[in-house]
Structure 1
């Protein structure tokens, strides 16, 4: 029986407003594979869009209790988080010299919620251990460090049938995340209006970055194998080549390293939102 399944996917791809392209179809194929695999545990490497982690932003954190915010038409409710396993993982990571934070409770946003729902049906249908990776508030970890974290997580759960998930976009640029966190707490409605105004201003001023698909292709080639040499070059001039949203692929990198096998690209669409679904099983 296969002991590991790894799925990495963009979030927001099943919104009614999202394009009905090959990535949208691929998430359905990935869900069928997850159903067949029937994991006993889901280890979810995800990020946050400055909703859950604001005044203190750890580089990495294991979440011991989690709810879903329901933002951007996402799910609501509580995740089934195996807190004892999470505590044991934190202790193991500290013993292996990772400065890991413990989030005793977190209201996770769509970076976790959408992909969990897309792959599992509901956020509470399987035990899910969320591992937060900061991708939105620089400075963030290197890709090599994210891989090192993922590899240790995979070693810790080697005796379990685990689905490893990484959620985020490939090359894309988010004007709203170019400025430091202000500390101002907005309602979700206020937040969406602010995002629209920032994006509109960026378009009118011509400051939307023109990205090229070569960063996507280099990244997908890297996680398609098992070598680690590419991890250093993928980080070089990251924002210029992939936009500030490309840092979300730190979650993919951790999931790839945890699974320990090259991933197969099921679908990839290069555009301003960096959509793709990749998967591998062992």
Structure 2
């Protein structure tokens, strides 16, 4: 479909501290493809790291106004969000029996900011409609439900030239996200101190999970086709097989279904961050 392009990528790829390897090179190739495609709209399926959505954590939400928090050396400023189009999408999703939330305003973290900047150059370079997918505060949606949402979003935008983006890591485990969600909002200083403490305790207690690349390979094979048969099994024993960070691939699944095309892996590095870039 010439009016659709899908790119899914890990975030934090271009941090100065990030490895200079195949994935970092691949995000440049993806950016070139986005530039050549020249979308009129970017529909971005992204998550959060318990920064933006605190007192209420929706499973899915369409964001009508968005700023960037600038965390983890991310961008700051405002996204160019087509709010009326977002309202129309919410109405359509509700009419098709999706219990979608409306976020009238959200300060999005690096799960949106880094990948938007990596692909577009800046967060306001194109109209961006953020669709939040809860991946950090269980219970999460199933992979099949994320795909169903994505498919309906793709149908809604069928007559537009759209770039669909999914952002998140593959297999990786974050000890901090093993803690139950409390809804407490932390400053970045408090957050970093808490993360350091949780990670140190995990290391001292020997609870750092050793993951294998099998989950990554199975997931990439799934989005590399058009069958939905794999969606139920990929989420089984997710934390044990892929770590709690693997839930971020719900965003990839939604973007894959929205685009409706097989995705090609440009680069995959199996490490503690689950780094990869795929494109249709």
TM range (shorter): over 0.9
Shift in Å at residue 183 of structure 1?
A: 3.4
Matches of 2:136 and 2:20, distance apart in 1: 27
Shift in Å at residue 24 of structure 1?
A: 0.5
Q: What is residue 32 of structure 1 aligned with on the other side?
A: 32
- Structure 1 range deviating more: 196-205 or 163-172: 196-205
Q: Give the secondary-structure state (helix, strand or coil) at the position aligned to 1:29.
A: helix
Unaligned segments of structure 1, at least 5 residues: none
Measured against aligned partners, the alpha-carbon deviations of 1:118-154 in whole angstroms (never above 9, x if no partner) come to 0000000000000000000000100000000000000
8 A contact 2:54–2:185 mirrored in 1: no
Measured against aligned partners, the alpha-carbon deviations of 1:36-76 in whole angstroms (never above 9, x if no partner) come to 00000000000000000111000000000000000000000
Shift in Å at residue 7 of structure 1?
A: 0.2
Q: CA RMSD in A?
A: 0.8
- Give TM-score scaled by structure 1 length: 0.98
Q: Give the secondary-structure state (helix, strand or coil) at the position aligned to 2:67.
A: strand
8 A contact 2:67–2:107 mirrored in 1: yes
Matches of 1:84 and 1:12, distance apart in 2: 30
Matches of 2:229 and 2:36, distance apart in 1: 33
Q: What is residue 197 of structure 1 aligned with on the other side?
A: 197
8 A contact 2:116–2:122 mirrored in 1: yes
- Structure 1 range deviating more: 181-190 or 269-278: 181-190
Unaligned segments of structure 2, at least 5 residues: none
Q: What is residue 253 of structure 2 aligned with on the other side?
A: 253
Matches of 1:193 and 1:166, distance apart in 2: 29
Measured against aligned partners, the alpha-carbon deviations of 1:229-252 in whole angstroms (never above 9, x if no partner) come to 000010110000000000000000
* Greater than 6 Å deviation, 4+ residue runs: none
How many residues end up aligned between the 2 structures?
280
Matches of 1:185 and 1:96, distance apart in 2: 33
8 A contact 2:54–2:184 mirrored in 1: no
Q: Give the secondary-structure state (helix, strand or coil) at the position aligned to 2:31.
A: helix
Shift in Å at residue 193 of structure 1?
A: 1.9
Shift in Å at residue 266 of structure 1?
A: 0.2
Shift in Å at residue 182 of structure 1?
A: 2.8
Measured against aligned partners, the alpha-carbon deviations of 1:131-179 in whole angstroms (never above 9, x if no partner) come to 0000000001000000000000000000000000000000000000001
Matches of 2:216 and 2:57, distance apart in 1: 27
